[in-house]
């Protein structure tokens, strides 16, 4: 999930000493959408409390060394509704999501912990399907679920099941990945088509009168990422564009490195049925969550090699160079449209697609 604390903390490190004020008095759904409200909440509440021990001691908050082994730690809460949707369910999603977060740090996933918040009345059969899906996803990705916890809450105090997965991975490649590393001239590569996951969940929820064949793209990305890191360890950074979509992640990178990212609208791979669904929903697909895609920023001389490597992997067949990094205007993402114009592609505001992951 791109919206973990550490990414936000890293990005807003420059705010040190300037406390962020929240205008809201209570939590709203927008605070969980991964966009501006989430960033403000984390900055105002969590950064204020945790800033010293984390920001001042650790360069990358989610990575640490134990006996000169570089490990990565990530945690993610999954609240997707419905629990089952075309292409996946909350179980496999919770395994893939955490694997993909480790992958963004260049870490091979080793072990997962899983915590379950179960609402009174959840059918045991549903729980069994979800757990079986997790087990299968873990096995396919060669990770082990080594510990767990279950808690139950009364009817009306949950929504069937929430899952929190936490992963430990090991950084074996000699990489220096950071959203601060991005330079003018770098190329932005997306590993495949955008928007399937969010749209598939919305259709499953019945919010959309579509008989679509759109399936979630939920998938574990470590193997694909590993193949890229093997040939191009000098990658600047990677991010999986989940909540907030490609647009929000690119904004985070642009702000973190104080560069401009120019995206070519026509170069972004998108399935026509996803584009159609997004039009009906009135949402730009660049803001829709993906659960099986990775964004890479790479030095220009490596772009072709990374693209070729991605295309050789089943999950990267539709990879494309979707943009490039420029010097100015700093901290801004510009979308170049087909008709020769360009507009600012801002970070997500509000929460157009709640609880899709």
Footprint on residues 200-229 left by a copy of itself (CB under 8 A): none
Among 86, 140, 159, 273, binds a copy of itself (CB under 8 A): 159
Provide the minimum distance between the beta carbon of 46 and a copy of itself in the complex, in angstroms, as a whole number: 6
Four-point Cα dihedral 131, 134, 136, 141, nearest 10: -160
Name the β-bridge partners of 336. Answer: 264, 342
CA-to-CA distance for 119 and 62, rounded, in angstroms? 31
Q: Which of these ranges, 31-39, 190-198, 278-286, 337-345, lies near a copy of itself under the rule CB under 8 A?
A: 31-39
Alpha helices (H) along 146-243: 196-204, 222-231
> Of 18 and 25, which has the nearer Cβ to a copy of itself?
25
In the bound state with a copy of itself, the residue whose beta carbon lies nearer, of 39 and 313, is 39
Among positions 70-89, residues that touch a copy of itself (CB under 8 A) are: 71, 73-79
CB 111, min distance to a copy of itself, A: 6
Residue 9 to residue 297: CA distance in whole angstroms: 20
Q: Binding to a copy of itself by residue 16, rule CB under 8 A?
A: no
Decide if 78 contacts 115 (C-beta within 8 A): no
Residue 3 or 217 with smaller CB distance to a copy of itself:
3
User: Which region among 3-11, 172-180, 214-222, 304-312 touches a copy of itself (by CB under 8 A)?
Assistant: 3-11
Using CB under 8 A, which of the segments 62-70, 179-187, 329-337, 341-349 binds a copy of itself? Answer: 62-70
Neighbours of 199 (CB within 10 A): 33
> Would you count residue 21 as binding a copy of itself (CB under 8 A)?
no
Site for a copy of itself in 99-158 (CB under 8 A): 110-111, 113-125, 127-128, 131-132, 134-135, 138-139, 144-154, 156-158
**Minimal CA–CA distance to 103: which of 218, 223, 3?**
223
Among residues 95, 164, 202, 204, which is the contact residue for a copy of itself, using CB under 8 A? 164
- Tell whether residue 356 is a contact of a copy of itself (CB under 8 A): no
Q: Cβ(316)–Cβ(192) under 8 Å?
A: yes
Angle separating helix axes 90-104 and 124-140, nearest 10 degrees = 30
Is residue 43 part of the contact set for a copy of itself (CB under 8 A)?
no
CA-to-CA distance for 348 and 357, rounded, in angstroms? 16
- Which token pair is 235? 């990658």
Cβ closest to a copy of itself, residue 166 vs residue 258: 166
Binding-site member from 62, 107, 278, 333 for a copy of itself (CB under 8 A): 62
d(CA 191, CA 318): 7
Pairing type for strands 237-239 and 295-298 reads antiparallel
Q: Round to whole Å and give the CA distance between 321 and 300.
A: 11
Q: How far is the CB of 125 from a copy of itself (least distance, A)?
A: 8
Among 10, 35, 36, 38, binds a copy of itself (CB under 8 A): 38
Question: How many residues sit in the footprint of a copy of itself (CB under 8 A)?
Answer: 88
Between residue 174 and residue 203, which ones bind a copy of itself under the rule CB under 8 A?
Answer: none
* Closer by beta carbon to a copy of itself, 144 or else 176: 144
* Contact of 186 with 324, CB cutoff 8 Å: yes
- Nearest alpha carbon to residue 90 among 176, 138, 145, 161: 161
Q: How far is CA 197 from CA 106, 243, 255, in A?
A: 23, 10, 26
Residues 233-292 that bind a copy of itself (CB under 8 A): none
| Nearer of residues 299 and 354 to a copy of itself, judged by Cβ | 354
* Nearer CB in complex with a copy of itself: 151/330: 151
């Amino acid at each position: 999930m791109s919206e973990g604390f550490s990414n936000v903390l890293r990005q807003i490190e420059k705010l040190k000493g300037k406390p962020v004020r929240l205008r809201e008095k209570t939590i709203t759904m927008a605070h969980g959408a991964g966009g501006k409200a989430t960033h403000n909440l984390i900055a105002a509440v969590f950064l204020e409390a945790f800033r010293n021990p984390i920001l001042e001691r650790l360069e990358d908050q989610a990575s640490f060394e134990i006996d000169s082994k570089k490990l990565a730690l990530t945690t993610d809460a999954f609240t997707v509704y419905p629990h089952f949707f075309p292409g996946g369910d909350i179980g496999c999603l919770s395994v893939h999501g955490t694997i993909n977060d480790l992958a963004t740090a260049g870490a091979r996933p080793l072990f997962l912990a899983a915590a379950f918040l179960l609402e009174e009345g959840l059918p045991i059969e549903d729980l069994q399907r979800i757990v079986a899906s997790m087990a299968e996803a873990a096995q396919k990705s060669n990770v082990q679920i080594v510990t767990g916890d279950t808690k139950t809450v009364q009817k009306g105090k949950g929504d069937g099941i929430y899952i929190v997965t936490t992963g430990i991975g090991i950084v074996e490649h000699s990489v220096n990945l950071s959203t601060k590393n991005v330079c003018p001239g770098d190329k932005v590569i997306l590993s495949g088509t955008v928007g399937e996951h969010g749209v598939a969940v919305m259709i499953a929820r019945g919010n959309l009168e579509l008989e679509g064949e759109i399936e979630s793209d939920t998938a574990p990305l470590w193997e694909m990422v590993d193949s890229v890191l093997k040939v191009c360890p000098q990658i600047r950074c990677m991010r999986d564009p989940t909540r907030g979509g490609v647009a929000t992640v690119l904004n985070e990178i642009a702000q973190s490195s104080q560069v401009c990212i120019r995206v070519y609208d026509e170069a972004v791979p998108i399935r026509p049925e996803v584009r159609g669904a997004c039009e009906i929903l009135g949402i730009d697909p660049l803001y829709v969550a993906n659960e099986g895609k990775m964004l890479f920023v790479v030095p220009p001389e490596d772009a072709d090699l990374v693209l070729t490597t991605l295309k050789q992997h089943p999950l990267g067949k539709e990879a494309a160079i979707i943009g490039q990094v420029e010097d100015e205007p700093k901290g801004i993402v510009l979308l170049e449209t087909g008709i020769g114009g360009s507009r600012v592609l801002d970070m997500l505001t509000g929460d157009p697609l709640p609880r899709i992951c």
